[in-house]
Structure 1
Amino acid sequence: MVSQITRGIKISVLTNFEGTYFKNHKMHFAFTYHITIENHSKDSVQLTTRHWEISDSLNHLEIVDGEGVIGKKPVLKPGEQHTYSSGCLLMSPFGAMAGFFNMINFTTTRTFKVTVPTFRLSAPFALN
């Protein structure tokens, strides 16, 4: 698990390799990731958007920007947490994801970025 705290918001990530799949006559490697967002600040916040940079060991890079996470824009009061799971397909058995969440602080009405620490995606059978 990797974790990082930005402005009182802790992001923790766990990953799993799910298997290989053929898509468009090419092998893909499927991964899931489980993210927990914890509000350790004194203010209520809301996640509004996400930004991902997904790369694999073949130098493929995919940028993903969107509203919320899995269709939700969670509001977190102080001490609360939100956990969700999602996934991605890579063209190789190794890769990584990094990014950030844009959030709004309800006390100050200001937006801020919360860094999602870089997390590795690796198929166990490919490890030496």
Structure 2
Amino acid sequence: MRISIILFFSFCFAQLAVAQQATTGNDNLQTAQFKVLGNCGMCKKTIEKAALGAQASTAVWDVKTDMISVAFDGKKTSKEALQKAIALAGYDNAGYKADDEAYKKLHGCCQYDRTGEAGGTKSCTANDQEH
């Protein structure tokens, strides 16, 4: 009985050590911040979804500053790939301008001022989540 308990705890400790090494051992983890123009909570969802779909591990876009913070595995994607994916979703950013057709497909509230001014004209409130 005593040996079983010792073996059980040894196994648990070994599994915990392996799991911790797997989560902290990514030498390829990179972070970046860049401007992405948008207006509201619906834009936030679309922008973050586009970045996550392009292999970002985290993506947080701030509606007030128009800045996105991303973390990603440099072996799986790049800052440029994330910017391109966001542009394909209709949002101008520091790396790419969205295609006019993609921009026109955005909800009217999400059609941001394309002059390039961060935090420019916001036709929606930051708390808008649904349209």
**Superposed pair shares fold, TM > 0.5:** no
Structure in which a larger fraction of residues adopt helix:
2
Q: Which has the larger radius of gyration?
A: 2
For normalisation by structure 1, the TM-score amounts to: 0.31
Structure in which a larger fraction of residues adopt strand:
1
